[in-house]
Amino acid sequence: MLPLFKKYKAAIIFIAKFFLVYMVLTFVYGKYLDAFSGEPDSVTKIVANQSNTVINWFGYQGEVTPHESEPTMKMIINGKYVGRVIEGCNSISVLILFVTFVIAFAGPWKRTLIFILAGSALIYLVNVARIVILGIGLYEYPEKEYLLHQLIFPAIVYGMVLLLWMFWVNKFSKRS
């Protein structure tokens, strides 16, 4: 058993770190969400409001309001309800996954921290842009909802995370 452990030590350590960090961050985020029973959490409200501000910059009349019967934010453009900003839209779950991977493949602590902060900021900004484009897209092309919401925009966000991970592993982690 010991020779097998030695052979796969790096992989075993990566998997153990990954699951430990992921479980801790997910647990902490779950506790945070518990404080918002029946209403949208603060990060979701912030993301919805920032997205709305950008929508207004593009000349649309955007509005976001808490949903009356669920913990989401209603997105309205030019008086037309186009969708909801839910907890899953706030990018925190994606950020947890991103941070977990970078920590599991940690490099020097300063570099790791800077990459986590810069990568998280980039993911957050791309997510706000995703919501803006999705909202305007749903307003202008409601028949393209499935394509926009289920295919294109998840591919953009997760594709960017994958590229950041590859960049991290190849350029900055201890294993590069």
Domain annotation covers residue 13: yes
Which pLDDT tens digits describe the chain residue by residue (176 residues)?
677 778 888 889 999 999 999 999 999 999 999 999 889 999 999 999 999 999 999 999 999 999 999 999 999 999 999 999 999 999 999 999 999 999 998 888 999 999 999 999 999 999 999 999 999 999 999 999 999 888 888 888 899 999 999 999 988 776 65
Domain annotation covers residue 176: no
Tokens 């990060």 correspond to what residue? Answer: 43
Helices and strands, counts by H and E, the chain: 7, 3
Could you list the residue range(s) of the whole structural domain that residue 7 is in? 2-171
